[in-house]
Amino acid sequence: MVELVGGKPVIYLFSPTEQEVAVTISLVPQWSFSAIYPVVPIEQEFGKTEGQTVQKVQWDVLVHKDGSLTEKATQLDVAYLFWEAHTNADRPLTPPASPSIEEFRNTPSFNPATADLSPDDSVVLSVSHITPYLDKALLALGLHTEARTSFITYWLPSLLKHSHVALRFLRQEAYERAAPLDVVPAPDVVTRVFMLFKGIDQESLRDWSAAQDKAKEDVQWWRDIVGVDLDKAGDGKLFRVLEWGGMEVLRP
């Protein structure tokens, strides 16, 4: 099985007042941390899923009114919190301890180890059109200028390896199951934007005609797919959390 890497998920925190905040990211067993910054201990937890180990990290930060952060253990001043994870051998997702089995079954799932795209849930664009499309889509999803620029420039070298690219954004509740985020005190709004993409060769394009047509539609529909409250996400009077990240699917 090809190892996939969840690339540069970064977490911004915006608060109208200076406050101390604890930010915890946990991972399902299908993911393990490969890098974090600021560097804090990676905790291993046993027994949450039978015979499996899960990881989590916690940053304790001081959030300044300008959006910058001071991580208390390292005393580093940073613009955001960074984490990256690689996939482990495929294991079925197991229900969390608290929700019912029925709730688990009715919630969209995302298994990092078996993630893929299809013509039904994606758009396909030529690489020459990918950056303007992404900028419009990310703006519709609530990313500010620096976040959109960082997102696109981070992924651009990988995108440019292909002539055509299929991409989709995950529903927040599906992504949350793979990488639960806990912020204390609770923010007024959390926006988590995670993109999957893969290259499509010329010979396969005929199988992706529906996704090519969908790429011509207004990008606003991604807001409903991801589940973004744009009014709250852009309200400077609220305590807001924004995360963006992505993963290239390398299987055919």
State how far the Cα of 233 lies from the Cα of 238, in Å rounded to an integer. 8
Q: What is the pLDDT along the chain (252 residues), one digit of tens a residue?
A: 455 666 679 999 999 999 999 999 999 999 999 999 999 999 998 745 546 789 999 999 999 999 999 999 999 999 999 999 999 865 554 444 444 434 434 456 789 988 899 999 999 999 999 999 999 999 999 999 999 999 999 999 999 999 999 999 999 999 999 999 999 999 999 999 999 999 999 999 999 999 999 999 999 999 999 999 999 999 999 999 999 999 999 876
Which has the closest alpha carbon to 113: 230, 249, 252, 18? 249
CA trace torsion 9, 10, 15, 17 (10° rounding): 140
CA distance 133 to 135: 6
**pTM for the full predicted model:** 0.90
Q: Which two tokens stand for residue 6?
A: 């969840």
Tally of CB atoms within 10 A around 47: 9
- Cβ neighbours, 10 Å, residue 21: 19
Render the burial of 200-224: b for 16+ CB within 10 Å, e for the rest.
Answer: beeeeeeebeebbebbeeebeebbe
How many C-beta atoms lie closer than 10 Å to residue 117's C-beta?
A: 20
- For residue 157, give the 3-state DSSP assignment: helix
Query: For residue 165, how far is the Cα from the chain centroid?
Result: 18
